[in-house]
Amino acid sequence: MTRFPRGSGLVIGAAVCCLALGARLEAAETPRRLMGYVAMSDGARLPYVVYLPEGEGRFPVLFTYNPYAGGGAGPAVANEFRGQGYAVMSASMRGTGCSAGLHEFQSPTIAQDGAALVEWAAAQPWSDGNVGMFGNSYPGMTQIMVAGARPPHLRALAVGASVSTLYDDIFYPGGIFNYGQAAIWTWLIQPRSAELGAALRIREGDMECAALRAQQTPQNMFDELAKHPLRDAWWQERSVVRDAARLEAPVLLFHAWQDQQIAVSASLELFHEIRAPKRMVLSNGSHSFYSQGPVQAGLRKRWFERWLKGTRNGVEDEPAVTVLFENRKQAEAWKPGWTWDFSTWPAPESGWLDLSMTVAGKLRPGSELLSTETGERFYVASLGTELIGDSASFSSRPSPVGALSYRGEPLAEDTTVLGAPEVVLQLSSELADTDVMLALHDISPLGEVLFVQRGFLRASHQEARPAPAWGGRPRPTHAALTALSQGEVRELKIALYPVGHVFRRGHVIELLVLSPSGVPSPNWAFASPVIPGRNQVHHGTLRRSRLLLPVLPKRQAEAPAPPCGSLELQPCFSPPR
């Protein structure tokens, strides 16, 4: 083990999640630090850094493992756990930071190397042999993969925003290439954060880093992702769902409904597959939810105390699922409007609200349509979208010729939606293929339009696999294409991403049918057909287009409605008075 001298005023490359990237001067006193390399069985050497608590002794280890700063992470990586008696270790993957080789997204070597690092950490003189893993996004994915290899000394995981299958969760939502996220990760996030981590090690005396970096093969995930437009064997090999069922270490999951990088359905699928002790926390918000607020940090603290230190704090006896509603930053602190706990997912009491879509642009209960409610409406594909990065961009409403709106009547009582909304769309098109985006909105009595959730589907992805056990209707296989033909009315079953939201009494539910954005909104941008063409939505009793909402009966909001625009990644448009 190589030890490099400590320094002060370290520049930190923070890469806890795949787009949370930056550098800052560490103001707090630098904890004791060890830096070096661990040799893998094939001779590859991976850089690590360890931050030790005050005092001598052996400590439980908390380990984060990623292709970002990794072994060049500054002391901020240990901030959450300071004063709790943990050694905090961060390590780089092959082909990143100060390691040689090629980084392959979700390669099987990630699990093998990570398990070796867990066992190495457990055997060190500063370790008591109990190792946990933590982190958000890619460091969340690695936890599932490493735990699937079952290293004997891995005791617990705290996983933020992991994937289940890369195809559905990030890079091809609804079968549409998300080139925005692919490009941002390939050419900015991963290389820049790894560069910052390597620079820190070099400044702190690592004489081997530069030579090892020179032996790296630059990753080009963008080109690799673009080669696989269908959910083929390449994607199956990179799925972590198969690892989830193998886990023995207890797992704590975090995810936000509006996560702009990894779809929240990933964590719900993982939760269903995991057989080990498990907890899940869900909330409105963004990819950064993992690190926002006392609820998350407090639960992680108790989780690791229970499974790494043996503290009998009862955390394993509490309800398995916690949902935060209307979580937002207030007076510099994150605070939910209220929380509800459930014994499992989906919530046992959930049912379905079936709303028919009419030719007049209405949403109403009931399956029998009047003759005045039947017929066709058209919109021009590729001419209408909405941007959800912030309220300013959201206020630029889609062109009426490029979108269709369906609205219900003002609600007579609070309506709680918890789960994955579904839309059955009876659609025909002038085009051989077309991409559909659906957006769910909450409209207040003042006319304020709040973004709730969205979903996507490429119409040629018709073939369906069975309904997932974690909730919702059948999902596309994304294994084959079936082009649209002239005059064909195709029934498209489109799942929106899961969400927890209360539509209050007097508010209106709105559904938009439009096209995906070709520019980041806020991170996802889609390679959709650029030639416009008319799509028709059909409305009738036999061919019924409808919205199905998973609802909880007799549940009401437990706090006043938040101000328009105050919820992260739920932009709100307030019309002129």
* Per-position DSSP letters for 261-324, written without gaps between them: SS-THHHHHHHHH--SSEEEEEESS-TTGGGSSHHHHHHHHHHHHHHHS-----GGGS-SEEEE
Tens digits of per-residue pLDDT, 423-439?
999 999 999 999 999 99
State both tokens at 557.
């909001």
- Residue 69 Ramachandran class (φ > 0 left, ψ -120 to 50 alpha, else beta): alpha
Q: Which of 420, 422, 434 is nearest to 493 (CA)?
A: 422
State both tokens at 20.
């949370």
Q: At what angle do helices 108-122 and 138-148 cross, to 10 degrees?
A: 80
Rounded CA-CA distance 316/560 in Å is 32
**Which residues lie closer than 8 Å to 211 by C-beta, 6 or more apart?**
none
Does 5 fall in a domain?
no
Does 118 fall in a domain?
yes
Are residues 376 and 311 both part of a single domain?
no
With cut-offs at 50, 70 and 90, classify the pLDDT of residue 28.
very low
Tens digits of per-residue pLDDT, 160-197?
999 998 999 999 999 999 999 999 999 999 999 999 99
Contact 398, 384 (CB under 8 A): yes
Q: What is the mean pLDDT of residues 247-270?
A: 97
Whether 95 shows a pLDDT value over 50: the answer reads yes
Are residues 128 and 247 both part of a single domain?
yes
Q: Tell me the backbone φ, ψ of residue 395, rounded to 5 degrees.
A: -70, -15
Strand (E) positions, 26-169? 32-39, 45-52, 59-66, 87-92, 101-102, 127-136, 154-160
317, 342, 367: which is the final residue of a domain?
A: 342
Average of per-residue pLDDT values in the chain: 92
Are residues 420 and 568 both part of a single domain?
yes
**Which residues lie closer than 8 Å to 118 by C-beta, 6 or more apart?**
63, 131, 133, 146, 151, 153, 154
Percent of the chain scoring above 70 in pLDDT: 94
Rounded CA-CA distance 36/62 in Å is 17
pLDDT at 464: 80
Whether 535 shows a pLDDT value over 70: the answer reads yes
Are residues 310 and 393 both part of a single domain?
no
Does 1 fall in a domain?
no
pLDDT at 2: 43
Does 553 fall in a domain?
yes
State both tokens at 501.
């939201």
Task: Give residue 128's domain range.
Answer: 11-342
Rounded CA-CA distance 99/65 in Å is 13
Are residues 416 and 541 both part of a single domain?
yes
Whether 460 shows a pLDDT value over 80: the answer reads yes
Higher pLDDT, 14 or 150: 150
Whether 495 shows a pLDDT value over 80: the answer reads yes
Q: Tell me the backbone φ, ψ of residue 120, rounded to 5 degrees.
A: -65, -50
pLDDT at 29: 57
State both tokens at 439.
């957006």
Rounded CA-CA distance 354/549 in Å is 7
410, HSE (Cβ side, Cα atoms, 13 Å): 7
State both tokens at 567.
């919820």
Percent of the chain scoring above 90 in pLDDT: 86
315, 342, 369: which is the final residue of a domain?
A: 342
Q: Which of 13, 144, 130, 10 is nearest to 67 (CA)?
A: 13
Are residues 317 and 440 both part of a single domain?
no
Write a three-state SS string for 370-439: CHHHCEEEEEEECCCCCCCCCHHHHCCCCCHHHCEEEECCCCCCCEEEEECCEEEEEEEECCCCCEEEEE
Rg of the chain over all Cα atoms, to the nearest angstrom: 24
Tens digits of per-residue pLDDT, 115-130?
999 999 999 999 999 9
Tens digits of per-residue pLDDT, 380-400?
999 999 999 999 999 999 999
Are residues 298 and 381 both part of a single domain?
no
Q: Give the CATH number for residue 430.
A: 2.60.120.260
With cut-offs at 50, 70 and 90, classify the pLDDT of residue 368.
very high
Are residues 424 and 549 both part of a single domain?
yes
Does 4 fall in a domain?
no
Whether 27 shows a pLDDT value over 60: the answer reads no
Higher pLDDT, 300 or 531: 300
Are residues 181 and 220 both part of a single domain?
yes
pLDDT at 1: 43
Does 3 fall in a domain?
no
342, 368, 384: which is the final residue of a domain?
A: 342
End-to-end CA separation in angstroms for the chain: 67
Are residues 289 and 384 both part of a single domain?
no
State both tokens at 245.
């069922």
Q: Which of 142-146, 181-185, 464-468, 529-533 is predicted with the least confidence, judged by mean pLDDT?
A: 464-468
Are residues 308 and 390 both part of a single domain?
no
Q: Give the CATH number for residue 108.
A: 3.40.50.1820
Rounded CA-CA distance 176/165 in Å is 15
Does 362 fall in a domain?
yes
With cut-offs at 50, 70 and 90, classify the pLDDT of residue 30.
low
Local structure of 72: helix, strand or coil: helix
Q: Which residue has the tokens 């309800």?
A: 319
pLDDT at 467: 75
Are residues 233 and 361 both part of a single domain?
no
Buried b (16+ CB within 10 A) or exposed e, 237-271: ebbbbebbeebebbbbbbbbbbbbbbbbbbbbbbb
If one counts the domains in the chain, the total is 2
Whether 20 shows a pLDDT value over 80: the answer reads no
pLDDT at 24: 34
Contact 197, 69 (CB under 8 A): yes
Does 89 fall in a domain?
yes
Beta bridge partners of 510: 407, 441
Question: Which amino acid appears at position 522 of this protein?
Answer: P
Does the pTM surpass 0.85? The reply is: yes
